[in-house]
Amino acid sequence: MEHIAIIGSGFCGTALAIQLLRNAKGPLRLSLINRSGRLARGLAYGTRSASHILNVPAERMSLFPDQPSDFLDFARRQMPEANPGDFLPRRFYGDYLQDRLGQAIAEAAPGVRFSSLCEQVLELNEQGDYLHLLLDNGQHLDSRKVVIATGNFAPATPAPLKALESDPRYLRDPWAPGVLESIPSDARILLLGTGLTMYDMALALQDQGHRGSLLALSRRSLLPQAHRDNTSHPVLPELPPTFLDQMGLNERLRRLRSLIRQATEDGHDWRDVIAALRPATPQLWQALNDKERDRFLRHLQPYWDVHRHRAAPPVAQRINDLRDSGQLRIQAGRVIAASANAQGILLDIRPRGASQSAAQHFDYLINCTGPCTNLRTVSEPLLCGLLDRGVICQDSQQLGLETDAHYRLRNARGVVHPDLYLLSPMLRASHWEATAVPELRGHAAQLAQLLLS
């Protein structure tokens, strides 16, 4: 019997398992392995906070590309008044994934066997025709095909903050369970980063009655743009065929700006142009050489991110209210040095454009810089071991792992492994867009077809 093991049961692992269960016609053994034991949750959808809402309208969050209203139909069981353009609580989405997984298990074809294992995979080795997995309980699992479907990793500690790593007042992982609960309500807090994670932390602190000052710091102080209220469904502008021609990064940017100007004159919103780009983004990314990719990441990514990864309107409004009240301040600058003593955390902060830094005291520092993508620094023995042995290979920009067009992982020599696959935000190395449901659900459906063919 064919055996497929999926390592990770957040969105990617769950979506792939559901696609396999729904489409497998003959005998199949499917194992879903996750060390937390929380199926279909992951970091994004494990939250129970009502303030943590989806950053994508309900109408675009279906698991199934061919059933666009599936999530909305599910959500209306709990919230009958939900509309297609609403931004719903993330916990609803975790419930939805669990429900659809249970349904797929119950309705699977005869001979399709599903099991979930609450274990961590420590090692992967080849043994004949099988991939041999060593679990942290000492047991072994043999599988013909393995899919690495791990999610995002906790933020890395920036070099100037290394002295704080063992200090409990430095919160490196903002998504660790209960991480904010011990913070006194009057604490002075630095939020390092001004993206969507900062938004989540600021609102979670407000929900628990925080009264102390909040300073959000990033090099450019860029904030995520807000989605517009989804009361209309504009026809997206068409990309000119020549937009996909081979060209340098500067020329591509010039044409994008021109396209936005033209679309605005035609009655569109800049958001429509960004949406129209999404299907072409992998092709555009793959057309860049390493030098151009490095330039994009260094100079343009911060601006791309705040326009592409937008905040739900209610979230953006609450952040604006916090700023208007004076409790939340946004500053452009960087931390030059850090130390800690009994009175708190002392940071030397250099404002953007300044030549001198100034000392500031805080009671807590929360790392909101986003997921770590340098896999050699994450606490993940499976991936670190595979990298050390050259079984898998990270891309030059350290965004993820190298794969071919069929999701098969490449080794350090560039050779694809016929039975080892990737479905994860680490697909950014090849696709750039590999973090949101609309892209990842498509990857899950395609990979399921490949695995079953």
Q: Examine residue 69 and state whether it is found in any structural domain, yes or no.
A: yes
Q: Examine residue 230 and state whether it is found in any structural domain, yes or no.
A: no
Tell whether 38 and 106 lie within a shared domain.
yes
CA distance readout (Å), 39 to 15, 28, 64, 95, 255: 11, 20, 18, 10, 44
Q: Which CATH number belongs to the domain containing residue 103 in this structure?
A: 3.50.50.60
Last residue of a domain, one of 308, 335, 359: 308
Query: What pLDDT, on a 0 to 100 scale, did the predictor assign at position 240?
Result: 85
Instruction: Dump pLDDT digits (tens) for 20-40.
Output: 999 999 899 999 999 876 776
Query: What pLDDT, on a 0 to 100 scale, did the predictor assign at position 38?
Result: 72
Instruction: Quote the CA–CA distance of 11 and 88 in Å, as a whole number.
Output: 17
Summary mean pLDDT of the chain: 93
Query: Average pLDDT, stretch 201-216?
Result: 97
Contacts of 349 (CB under 8 A, 6+ apart): 217, 331, 333, 334, 335, 336, 357, 358, 359, 360
Query: What pLDDT, on a 0 to 100 scale, did the predictor assign at position 40?
Result: 67
Instruction: Using the predicted structure, report yes or no on whether residue 232 has a pLDDT greater than 60.
Output: no
Query: What pLDDT, on a 0 to 100 scale, did the predictor assign at position 241?
Result: 83
Query: Average pLDDT, stretch 136-145?
Result: 95
Tell whether 132 and 35 lie within a shared domain.
yes
Instruction: Quote the CA–CA distance of 287 and 18 in Å, as a whole number.
Output: 33
Query: Average pLDDT, stretch 172-190?
Result: 95
Tell whether 198 and 331 lie within a shared domain.
yes
CA 5 to chain centre: 22
Tell whether 12 and 129 lie within a shared domain.
yes
Instruction: Dump pLDDT digits (tens) for 186-197.
Output: 999 999 999 999
Tell whether 10 and 104 lie within a shared domain.
yes
Q: Examine residue 236 and state whether it is found in any structural domain, yes or no.
A: no
Structural domain for 357, as ranges: 159-225+311-367
Tell whether 30 and 131 lie within a shared domain.
yes
Instruction: Tell me what percent of the residues of the chain surpass a pLDDT of 90.
Output: 84
Instruction: Using the predicted structure, report yes or no on whether residue 236 has a pLDDT greater than 80.
Output: no
Tell whether 43 and 65 lie within a shared domain.
yes
Contacts of 32 (CB under 8 A, 6+ apart): 6, 9, 13, 14, 17, 39, 114, 115, 116, 117
Tell whether 34 and 50 lie within a shared domain.
yes
Instruction: Using the predicted structure, report yes or no on whether residue 230 has a pLDDT greater than 70.
Output: no
Instruction: Using the predicted structure, report yes or no on whether residue 45 has a pLDDT greater than 80.
Output: no
**Full-model pTM:** 0.94
Q: Examine residue 231 and state whether it is found in any structural domain, yes or no.
A: no
Query: What pLDDT, on a 0 to 100 scale, did the predictor assign at position 234?
Result: 63
Tell whether 336 and 292 lie within a shared domain.
no
Q: What's the total number of domains in the chain?
A: 3
Banded pLDDT at 312 (limits 50, 70, 90): very high
Instruction: Quote the CA–CA distance of 423 and 395 in Å, as a whole number.
Output: 16
Tell whether 394 and 317 lie within a shared domain.
no
Q: Examine residue 63 and state whether it is found in any structural domain, yes or no.
A: yes
How big is the CA angle at 302 (ends 149 and 288), to the nearest 5 degrees? 70
Last residue of a domain, one of 320, 347, 367: 367
Query: What pLDDT, on a 0 to 100 scale, did the predictor assign at position 111?
Result: 95
| Nearest residue to 406 (alpha-carbon basis) of 202, 145, 159 | 145
Last residue of a domain, one of 293, 308, 323: 308
Instruction: Using the predicted structure, report yes or no on whether residue 51 has a pLDDT greater than 90.
Output: no
At residue 205, the 3 state secondary structure works out as helix
Query: Average pLDDT, stretch 325-332?
Result: 98
Lowest mean pLDDT among 44-58, 133-147, 310-324: 44-58
Tell whether 165 and 303 lie within a shared domain.
no
Instruction: Using the predicted structure, report yes or no on whether residue 243 has a pLDDT greater than 90.
Output: no
Q: Examine residue 232 and state whether it is found in any structural domain, yes or no.
A: no
Q: Examine residue 233 and state whether it is found in any structural domain, yes or no.
A: no
- Reading the block at residue 344, the tokens are 């708190």
Tell whether 131 and 89 lie within a shared domain.
yes
Q: Examine residue 275 and state whether it is found in any structural domain, yes or no.
A: yes
